[in-house]
Structure formats: C-alpha cells, structure tokens
Amino acid sequence: MFIRRLGIDLGTANTLVYVPGRGIVLNEPSVVAISEYDKKVLAVGAEAKRMIGKTPDSIIAYRPMKDGVIADYRVTEAMLRYFIGKSLGPWSFLKPDVLVSVPAGITSTERRAVIEAALKAGAKNAYVVKEPILAAIGAGIPIQEATGHMIVDIGGGTTDVAVISLGGIVASTSVKCAGDKLDHAIGDYIKKSFNLAIGDKSAEELKIHIGSALPVDEELTYNLKGRDFITGLPRSIEIKTNEIVRAIQPQLRFMIKAIKDVFQDTPPELAADIIDQGITMTGGSSQLRNFPELVFKRTGVKAAIAENALFCVANGTGAALSHLAIYKTSILSKISKR
C-alpha cells in the first residue's frame, strides 16, 4: 500500500503518527538515546525511554523537544526520520505529505525549524497547523461554524488555550506549563518533604496513579521508592493524594490563569457561546483527576474532557489531511521539497 500522507502530533512527551484510512499507527515517547562518543543515535521512542535514568556515562537518553518546540534540531530530525520510516513500512518508496502539529504560541523561526526537520526527515511537502485547531477537529467540534468554542489542550510541554470560530483562532495563548512541570513539582515536593530523590518517571507514575487537581475525601495511596538524600540508601514511603494536590497547586494556578487571560481577550458574543457550549479539554495531562471540576470552580464555566483526549490532536491531523480544502484557512505553512 502506498502511503502518501501522514499526520504527526509532535509532542514534548509523546509523538503520534496518523495515517488516513488506518488511524493512529504509532504512539511512542519523544525520546532519543545517543552515544556520547560518536553522537550516534542508539534508540528512539519506547526503547529509548526505558533507558532514561539507567544509562552509563557513555549514553545519553533525553527529549529533543522542550516546551512543545525543537530544542535539538539534529536529534529531532533523526527522531522524525525514524517515526516516518516506521509508519510507512519498508516497502514505501513515495515521499509522503506530512502535516505536523505546533503550539499556538509558536514563533515563525520555531515553525520554520519544524518544517525543515520534517522535510529533511523524508517529507515531500510539510504543513504545520496549530494544536488547538487540530485538537478541536479531533474532538469533533464543528470549527467552521460561526459559534465560539474554547479548547484547552494540555500536553507534556505546553498548555494551549484558544477560542475558535469560523475555522480560525480568535483569541489564544500558549504557556510552557503542562505535564512535565507537574512532574517536576511533585519531584521537588518529595525531595523537600521526605528527603527522597525520585526520577521524572516515578513522579509521572505518582501523578497518574494518585494525582488530583482538587483535594479529595477518599485519598488514594502509593508506595513510592527512591534514594534517601541523607543516607544515600534506597527507601520507600507512602504518599497520599492530597499531598500531590498541594505539590502541584502553583502549576495548576498558572494553567487556570492562561484560561482566564484568553477569556479576557474573547469578544462578548463568543464568550456567551462558550458559556452555553462549555470548555473542551484535550491532551494527556487534561486527564488529571478532577481537572474539569477545578476549571469550573475557578472560571464558572463548565468543562469536559473530550473523548480520547490523548489522541485528539493526532486524529485532528488525519481529518485535516483528508479535507485539506476545507481546513486550508487553518494551515499556517506549506513548503515543498524541491
């Protein structure tokens, strides 16, 4: 089968690839393992993520994407080449058209870097579309209508908030505070409160298993293992949900402020629509327990997590690729490989 089009949700934490007609064919961490000696790429994706925090000095496993944009151009290109090749399979000889998601607050230089990386990784044509537009399409929101819809897309590196009407973004902001910052806040809290060192992976598991955006009456507990700062020896402690709530409050306040800032820039008629429609939340980090309830408590507007929130942007790339003519006003750039 000749695949001519690919949609890529290029995230800070995970990269998803969508093929029209087949759906999401790849969902792997945005992680690359590199040899220190010859700068050779040793592993990409899930295999590389397993190495984080467990490598010898001669191997570095890290994320080439930071806060939703490219931090290391060469490694991102290698990662994209691997993901595109894996999605196409060994028998595809035609270069595909690639549509890549980018944060709402991306600069022209950052946008250009994404396009160049996609082209060098094997794309024939490269398009970029802002994540809130794709998240809205993937969530089934009719963005072409003259009705205001607010989308809050919370990933690993960025929280994108946008009000969409008539196929375009009316008001938006993109803040570099999302899932990764929550993980770091949990790690810092454990360090200060319990003198225990834990890695980002353990902090993320803690957030997923017992984390919440609001205090709860029936707390969940988690047996956390790490290294004692004083003795240097391994130790385990029991952590409860409301301790995680306290740890991540500053970051959650920052995300809520982003939503309020966009409301302040929203025309009154569209704000009225949003009160009726509610706020749609997408992205992996939006699935934190009681997050919609926190948004409602702080803004007075009902919020709901979209179905398949983690895959909304990837599904949106597929819909945009299948109906390029309909969504042409939403596409920021198209550059061809000469």
CA–CA dist 198, 224 (Å, integer): 9
Pairwise CA distance, residues 262 & 285, whole Å:
19
Exposed / middle / buried, residue 74 (Cβ in 10 Å: 0-12, 13-18, 19+): middle
**Cβ–Cβ under 8 Å, residues 208 and 201:** no
Q: Is 156 annotated as a binding residue?
A: yes
Q: What contacts 48, CB < 8 A, 6 or more positions away?
A: 29, 31, 32, 33, 42, 61
Q: Is 201 annotated as a binding residue?
A: no
Does the annotation place 207 within a ligand binding site?
A: yes
CB 57 within 8 A of CB 6: no
**Pairwise CA distance, residues 138 & 308, whole Å:** 9
Alpha-carbon distance 185 to 190, whole Å? 9
Tell me if 204 is assigned to a ligand binding site. Answer: yes
Q: Taking the chain, what is the end-to-end CA distance rounded to the nearest angstrom?
A: 25
Is 293 annotated as contributing to ligand binding? no
Annotated binding residue 205: yes
Alpha carbon distances (Å) from 171 to 118, 138, 142, 149, 165? 28, 19, 17, 11, 10
Q: Name the DSSP letter for residue 283.
A: S
The answer to whether the annotation marks 12 as part of a ligand binding site is yes
281 contacts 305 by C-beta, under 8 angstroms:
yes
Q: Which amino acid is at 99?
A: L
Helix 241-264 vs helix 179-194: crossing angle, to nearest 10: 140
Residues 6+ apart with CB under 8 A from 14: 27, 28, 29, 30, 156, 284
How many angstroms from the chain centroid is the CA of residue 104? 12
User: Phi and psi at residue 274, in whole multiples of 5°?
Assistant: -65, -35
Q: Which residues fall in the annotated binding site? A: 12-14, 156-158, 204-207
Q: Which residues fall in the annotated binding site for ATP? A: 12-14, 156-158, 204-207
